[in-house]
Amino acid sequence: MNSLLSALWAYRGFVLGSVGREFQSRYRNSLLGAAWMVLNPLSMVVVYTVIFSKLMRARLPGANGSFAYSIYLCAGVFAWGLFSEIVSNGQNVFLANANLLKKLSFPRLCLPVIVVCNALLNFGIIFSLLLLLILLLTGHLPGLPLLALIPVLILQVTFSVGLGVILGVLNVFFRDVGQSFGIIIQFWFWFTPIVYPITIVPEKIRWLLTLNPMTHLIGAYQSVLVSGKYPDWPSCLWVAAVSLLLCVLALRLFRRHAGEMVDEL
């Protein structure tokens, strides 16, 4: 593990340079340039706020304020977006960079790290806009519980990376993995309490949702941003255990098949 971290640190320039090139290439031929990184999530925030808070008059059980559901929905959708971006790009990262893997010699795990850095850059901008929205709509921020989202974010990234690397390695040898996961993640979204609160689910099947790690991660964001409450830490222990297991499996799978992947590509 130390040798792996040392290798990644030695190639930090390669990682940062790749992140910068990805950022520039995304908006190079655009008139508004990087402003689209703000305009796209901002438009989503406006739509959710207008439709769900004004037109539909949606309300959260036990939540005060006409904008509670909008904040609840934005928190869930944006947090899910980070997970989806890391896993979706992670499962395709080795295929997408096949030429690079064949021509250059560098630590292969730099590629998932680049995926994570790009996703965190996007999420940082989106999350900042969400905090600004909360401040404008409610007049205050969640306060100290907001800091609790730092370990939640680390936990979410760990879970996403572990799953993404496993899928990325398998996708090199079995191309159906990438196609099938696109379908699975759509069902996974609706299996996670993002659009609806878990309290409306019948109790006899509610336990199924608690087996979903994303239920607890998304719930942590919503609890902090909507109610200003700390996350339910005991429930996060389940996610931590799953995340650790996924990372161990991902590392072993990658080390075992790293050489074979280049030949397969």
Instruction: Evaluate if residue 214 carries a pLDDT over 90.
Output: yes
For residues 89-101, average pLDDT: 83
On whether the CB atoms of residues 127 and 203 are closer than 8 A, the answer is no
Least confident span in 44-48, 111-115, 146-150, 222-226: 44-48
Q: What stretches of the chain show up as alpha helix (H) in DSSP?
A: 2-10, 12-26, 36-48, 68-90, 93-96, 98-103, 110-138, 149-173, 176-190, 203-210, 213-227, 233-264
Most confident of 105-109, 169-173, 242-246: 242-246
pLDDT at 22: 75
Res 108 pLDDT > 90: no
**Better-predicted residue by pLDDT, 83 or 109:** 83
Give the pLDDT score at 196. 84
Among 16-30, 148-162, 168-182, the minimum mean pLDDT is found in: 16-30
Confidence of residue 94 (pLDDT cuts 50, 70, 90): confident
Tokens of residue 29, six digits: 């031929």
Given a cut of 80, whether residue 160 has pLDDT beyond it is yes
pLDDT band at 4 (very low <50, low <70, confident <90, very high): low
The predicted structure's pLDDT at residue 109 = 80
**What is the C-alpha separation between 245 and 75, in angstroms, rounded?**
27
Q: What percent of the chain is modeled with pLDDT above 90?
A: 26
Question: What is the per-residue pLDDT for 16?
Answer: 80
How much of the chain, in percent, has pLDDT values that exceed 70?
A: 81
> What pLDDT, on the 0 to 100 scale, is given for residue 220?
94
**Which one-letter DSSP state was computed for residue 106?**
S
Q: What is the pLDDT of residue 71?
A: 84
Instruction: Determine whether 91 is exposed, middle or buried from the number of CB atoms within 10 Å of its CB (0-12, 13-18, 19+).
Output: buried
Q: How confident is the model at residue 26 (pLDDT cuts 50, 70, 90)?
A: low
Residue 53 confidence (pLDDT) = 64
C-beta separation of 217 from 78 below 8 A:
no
Q: Residue 12 above 80 pLDDT?
A: no
pTM score, whole prediction: 0.88
